[in-house]
Every structure is written in C-alpha cells, then in structure tokens.
Amino acid sequence: MKAGIIGIGHSKFGRRDDVTVQELAFEPFVEALNDAGIRRQDIDATIIGASPVYMTQRSIAGPITEYLGLNPQPVWLTEAACGSSAAALRTAYALITAGMHEIVLVLGVQKMLENPTSEILKIMGRSGDVQFEAPFGTTFANYYAMYANSHMAKYGTTSEQLASVAVKNHHYGSMNPLAMFQKEITIERVLESQIIASPLHLFDCCANADGSAAIILANEEKSKQLSDTPIWLSGLGAATAPFSLLTRPELTTLSSAVEASQIAYAQAKVNPSDIDVAEVHDCFTIAEIMAYEDLGFTDRGKGGEFVEEAYLGGKIPINVDGGLKAKGHPIGATGCSQVYGIVKQLRGEAGKNQVDGAEIGLAHNIGGHGQYCLIHILSR
C-alpha cells in the first residue's frame, strides 16, 4: 500500500509573539486543509511533532487538537528532539499503510522564544548525556564544534568552506517570504562574526525560532481521489547513534544518517545520484557539509568542496528554501518544514527557488546531535 501527501501548509518562522501555540498550529492546518480540498471531519487522526520541554503547557497535543476542532479523533505527540515531526510523519505513514487510518494530519509546531536564550542554551546542552557530558557545560554548539574540528583535522576543511554554506542558504532564504532571515550575507561577514564555539562563528549557527508546518497524508485510493498531483512517500529510513559522543568511534560523520539513508534508498530503489533536490539538516554549517557525505552526494572529505554543487543548476540543489540556517529552527516544526519544501519542488510550485524538472526529493532530519536521523524520499 502507498501513502501520498495531498495537503501542505507552513507558517512564517521567526519570533511569533503575535500568537499562542494553538494559534500558531492553526495557520498551516487551515492552509493544508484548503490545499487538500478536504474538511477537518475527513481527518482520521492527528500526530503532532514537538519538543514539550520548551513549552509551559504539558501534553500539548490535547490543547492543539481541541483548538483545531479535531475531537474526538485520536491524537498523540511524537518526540525525537529536532526530528520530532519527521518521526510523526513516519508514524503516520505506518498507520496508513497498515490500514488503520485513511487520512492523517501531521503537524510540527514549536514556540521556543518564550524562553530566554540562557534557558534555551541549558535545554539544548542537555540534548547530550546528562551524566557524563552536560556537567562539563556542554551546549549544542559545542557538540557541532567538535564535529567541525574533527572534520578540519582529518580532511582539511576550512572556515571559508563552512561560511560558504551560510552564504548559499541565506541567498535562498532571501527569496523565501516564510524564512526568519531574508538577507544575503558574505563569507567575510560570517568570518568576522563572533566565535560561539571554535571554529563556529555566529553565522555558522542556525537561530532558535517559533513556527509550524503541516502535512496531510492519505492512503493510495484517497490520494488519487483527492489530488491531481499526490506526492508519494517512496522511501523511508530511520536510525540512531549512541547518545554520548564518548562512545562514538568517529566524529566526522553521523552514523545514523548513513544508516537511515541507505534504508531509504533501498526502499525507494534509487541511488544518491537520482535525487533531484534535497533538504538537509543544517543546524550548523558543518552539519550540512557532513550531510553531503553521509547521504552519498560526494566522497568522504569532499563536503567542503561540494557547496558550489548545491546551488540551483548544480549537481544536487540543497536547501534552496534557505534551510534551517535562514528559515530558523523551531525544532518540532523542522521535519515537516523540510517535507513542505520538497513537496513544493516536486509540484513545480517553488517559484524563484524551483529546481527544473524535479521528480525525486530527499528530506534529511537530524534529532539532537545525531542521536536520531529520519530520511524521507518523495516522488511525483
């Protein structure tokens, strides 16, 4: 049995003090309903991806469902750190292909900026092992700085190559009205910005944000009935890596991404060279460079050189909606946001950022600093 995406929606990312979390969830929900041409009563179940540690409201799925008018249909929350809504999409796919539901709403939503930066840093720092790592003052940037330093030492990757990722993604973010940052930057500006965790500068790091995105998934029969252009989930991969960096044998790769991508490629019966457009998890610039290699888009150690091939017209255009770097990173919403971008591409609706003739796309969503990875391959 197949599952197709028939409706999508996306809020503006950024500081959203103008809305509650329920109101923030409502924005892409209504857009996705209209896109699919269905009523809320047609939705059999809802799965919400969010990280509740950032929110005052406990059991956030309940208040959101009530606000959206979706009772008494079932709802629950999935949590896999920054991969939460990609995990929700995988769960929806499993429910549909198992025949338990026909139409499922997947909603990624996060309000992070109700918390002060100091509190967010503490929460992010606890994404690693709280017994053996967090007591030493870890932050999220610290972890990715270790990856960057390891990649530089082993392969000769440079700060300029890291900065070029930020330049590319801000270039495309400048054309995305939903992005948090819509201004171009230069390599010089990246390298002149404050060091956050050496060698990562301020502009090597994505920003915390508020935001939401929605995906409506249906079984094969309903997809064909309701949509002229359903986008099929043709390959799904998921894997994990050790939670503690102390137990990882290598810090220049995320083994979870390698494993998950190989599973997804096998299910979709494609190779990395078949991918026309990709969204990869660029929480830090080094993360995008590692993703190029982990996904098989380029050879090991060549990720820093591959950035020029990730523009429109290059070998594989990547993050041409701005990525996390320009869009912002409301962690519960990021996975759905990536899939939203791929669906727009495969439908030919991406405007100035459109990849000509895109038929196969890949979304790569990392949770934490590599503990979780979820890959979705989509096709027309």
Query: 195 has which bridge partners?
Result: 201
Among 261, 230, 222, 237, which Cα is nearest to 343's? 230
If you search the block for the tokens 């965790």, which residue do you land on? 197
Pair 319, 355: CB distance under 8 Å: no
Q: How many helices (DSSP H) and strands (DSSP E) are in the chain?
A: 13, 11
Task: Select which of 170, 201, 281, 329 is catalytic.
Answer: 329
Neighbours of 235 (CB within 10 A): 21
Angle ∠(241,247,252) on CA atoms, nearest 5: 65
To the query of whether residue 82 is one of the catalytic residues in this protein, the response is: yes
Pair 253, 337: CB distance under 8 Å: no
Pair 223, 231: CB distance under 8 Å: no
Q: What are phi and psi for residue 248, nearest 5 degrees?
A: -90, 130
Distance (Å, rounded) from C-alpha 115 to C-alpha 138?
19
Task: Select which of 10, 82, 281, 369 is catalytic.
Answer: 82
Task: Give the strands of the sheet with 210-219, arranged side by side.
Answer: 75-78, 45-49, 103-111, 210-219, 3-10, 231-240, 372-379, 360-367, 277-279
To the query of whether residue 281 is one of the catalytic residues in this protein, the response is: no
To the nearest 10°, report the CA torsion of 29, 283, 17, 106.
Answer: 20
User: What is the CB-side half-sphere exposure of residue 7 using CA atoms within 13 A?
Assistant: 27
Distance (Å, rounded) from C-alpha 307 to C-alpha 162?
9
Distance (Å, rounded) from C-alpha 199 to C-alpha 311?
24
Distance (Å, rounded) from C-alpha 119 to C-alpha 6?
38
User: What is the CB-side half-sphere exposure of residue 113 using CA atoms within 13 A?
Assistant: 18
Pair 284, 144: CB distance under 8 Å: yes
- Residues identified as active-site: 82, 329
